């Protein structure tokens, strides 16, 4: 007679759910941070690149936002993007300014940012203001490694769940 306990992992939890769960959690870990390609690049290119992008014919500002190197360049003591530091990032002050002279984008451009877009930009600055390559050139795994910041709790969950998936995977 076979033992009723066929596997040490045979809890009441249906095992066919484990694989989707593990895959789901890995995917969540990958996208937990603000995603430059999905969330930030579209805002910058729609609302800022017109004047601060590669083809900007903007004589009034040397400030370019289309690469990390340019966004973090010091222009006479003003730095647009200081990774991880909102206070020292001019972008942060300009997008939240109430002064029509300072606020970005300028009111006459009729490209106002929504509250959600401002929040996302702030979050992106706080998380290091990284410019990722286009997603199709960047596998999830390498982005994960490059950020090198897996939350310990998620890692712990994965460690607990992965052995549970083994009986189905093998
Ligand atoms: C219609 C053109 C236009 C758009 C669109 C625009 N800007 Fe600007 N921006 C300017 C001009 C002109 C200046 C220089 C004058 C000034 O400092 O206000 C400037 C200056 C800035 C500065 C200060 C740079 C420095 O070195 O002093 C920052 C930061 C900035 N913009 C961020 C943004 C961001 C972020 C967006 C998009 C959310 C944006 N801008 C959209 C025209 C624009």
The 10s digit of each residue's pLDDT in 32-87 is 689 999 999 999 999 999 999 988 676 678 899 999 999 999 999 999 999 999 99
Closest atom, ligand 1, to C-alpha of 79: 26
**pTM beyond 0.85:** no
CB of 109 within 6 A of ligand 1: the answer is yes
Residue nearest to atom 24 of ligand 1 (CA): 63
90 lines ligand 1 (CB under 6 A): yes
Residue spans of alpha helices (H) in the chain:
18-31, 41-47, 49-52, 68-71, 90-96, 115-126, 140-147, 152-169
Angle between helices 140-147 and 18-31 (to 10 degrees): 60
The C-alpha angle with vertex 80 and arms to 74 and 82, in degrees rounded to 5, equals 85
DSSP reduced 3-state for 21: helix
Residue having the nearest C-alpha atom to atom 33 of ligand 1? 104
Atom 14 in ligand 1: residue holding the nearest Cα: 61
Question: How far, in Å, is the centroid of ligand 1 from the Cα of 131?
Answer: 19
Q: Which residues of 106-124 are buried (b: 16+ CB within 10 A; e: fewer)?
A: eeeeeeebeeebeebbbeb
Alpha-carbon distance 72 to 89, whole Å? 9
- Going from the Cα of 38 to the center of ligand 1, the distance in angstroms, rounded, reads 22
Domain residue ranges of the chain, discontinuous segments joined by +? 34-134
Q: Is 94 in the pocket of ligand 1 (CB under 6 A)?
A: yes
CB atoms within 10 A of CB 63: 22
Task: Please tell me the predicted confidence (pLDDT) of residue 105.
Answer: 97
Whether residue 58 has a cis bond before it, omega within 30° of 0: no
pLDDT given for residue 72 in this prediction: 97
Which of the two residues, 114 and 33, has the higher pLDDT score?
A: 114
| CB of 66 shorter than 6 A to ligand 1 | no
């Amino acid at each position: 007679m076979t033992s009723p306990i066929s596997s040490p992992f045979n809890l009441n939890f249906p095992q066919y759910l484990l694989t989707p769960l593990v895959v789901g959690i890995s995917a969540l870990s990958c996208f937990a941070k603000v995603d430059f390609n999905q969330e930030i690049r579209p805002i910058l290119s729609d609302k800022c690149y017109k004047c601060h992008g590669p083809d900007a014919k903007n004589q009034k500002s040397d400030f370019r936002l289309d690469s990390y190197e340019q966004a973090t360049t010091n222009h006479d003591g003003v730095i647009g993007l200081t990774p991880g530091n909102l206070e020292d990032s001019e972008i942060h002050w300009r997008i939240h300014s109430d002064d029509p002279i300072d606020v970005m984008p300028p009111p006459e451009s009729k490209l106002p940012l929504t509250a959600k877009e401002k929040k996302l930009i702030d979050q992106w600055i706080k998380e290091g203001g990284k410019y990722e390559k286009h997603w199709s050139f960047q596998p999830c795994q390498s982005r994960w490694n490059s950020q090198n910041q897996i939350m310990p709790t998620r890692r712990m969950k994965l460690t607990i769940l992965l052995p549970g998936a083994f009986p189905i995977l093998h």
